[in-house]
Amino acid sequence: MRKVERQRIIRQLLDEHDVEKQEDLVALLDHADIKVTQATISRDIKDMQLVKVPSPSGGYRYSLPAQQAMDTEKKLQRTLYDAYVSLDVQDYFIVLKALPGNGTAIATLIDQMNFDGAFGTIGGDDTVLIIAKSADDAQHLYQTLLDLLEQ
């Protein structure tokens, strides 16, 4: 598994679970049939700049730095502002048209935002296909992207 995909899954696991130790993360990944060593997780934690924050249940848990999430949203907003051409939704699919050379960057930023209803994205040179988990999720993502454009 590629590092980018593994780190995307780690971000998702951190959203869903209180991960207190590196060993907990290794176990969660193992449960998802992703085999990694503690050393790999240690490198990912450093690379992703994860921080320990107080856990609601007491103790501490790993989390993405707050600034990183804000930076990603600002980057997406700025990129959309600079490159947006059109946006359309049908069933589970959202198609975003952008100026040439921007599709892949926008798709990557959308992936990094970890939108709840997003199943996945495909980024081409000037087009991004966002696949939602449901038609309702597609409508919600569509509106979220429109809201980012209006800010």
pLDDT digits (tens, 9 = 90+) for 75-92: 899 999 999 999 999 999
> What confidence score (pLDDT) does residue 67 get?
62
> What confidence score (pLDDT) does residue 132 get?
96
> What confidence score (pLDDT) does residue 69 get?
56
Rounded to whole angstroms, the Cα distance separating 151 from 146 reads 9
Contacts of 62 (CB under 8 A, 6+ apart): 14, 19, 20, 25, 45, 50, 51, 52, 53
CA torsion, ordered 63, 66, 71, 77, to nearest 10 deg: 100
> What confidence score (pLDDT) does residue 56 get?
77
> What confidence score (pLDDT) does residue 143 get?
95
Which residue ranges in the chain fall short of pLDDT 50? none
Rounded to whole angstroms, the Cα distance separating 59 from 108 reads 33
Rounded to whole angstroms, the Cα distance separating 69 from 55 reads 19
Rounded to whole angstroms, the Cα distance separating 46 from 3 reads 13
> What confidence score (pLDDT) does residue 70 get?
60
